[in-house]
Homo-oligomer: A and B are copies of this chain.
Amino acid sequence: MNEIEQRLADLSLTLPTPAAPVANYVPYTRAGTLLFISGQLPFGADGKIAAAHSGRVGAEVTPEAAQQAARLCAVNILAQAKAALGLLDNVRCLKLIGFVAAAPDFIAIPAVVNGASDLMVAVLGDRGKHARSAVGVAQLPLGCAVEVEATLEIV
Question: Which A positions have Cβ atoms within 8 angstroms of B?
Answer: 21-29, 31-34, 36-39, 92-97, 99-102, 104-107, 109-111, 113-114, 117-118, 121, 129-143, 147, 149, 151, 153
Number of copies: 3
| Structural contact, A96 and B133, CB atoms closer than 8 A | no
Contacting residue for A136 out of B32, B133, B137, CB 8 A: B137
In the bound complex, what is the Cα–Cα distance between A88 and B101 (angstroms)? 36
Contact of B37 with A131 in the complex, beta carbons under 8 Å: yes
State whether A99 touches B31 (Cβ < 8 A).
Answer: no
Which residues from chain B contact A153 at a C-beta distance below 8 Å? 31
State which of B29, B106, B136 has its C-beta within 8 Å of the C-beta of A131.
Answer: B29
Instruction: Tell me how far the C-beta of A85 lies from the nearest C-beta in chain B, rounded to whole angstroms.
Output: 14
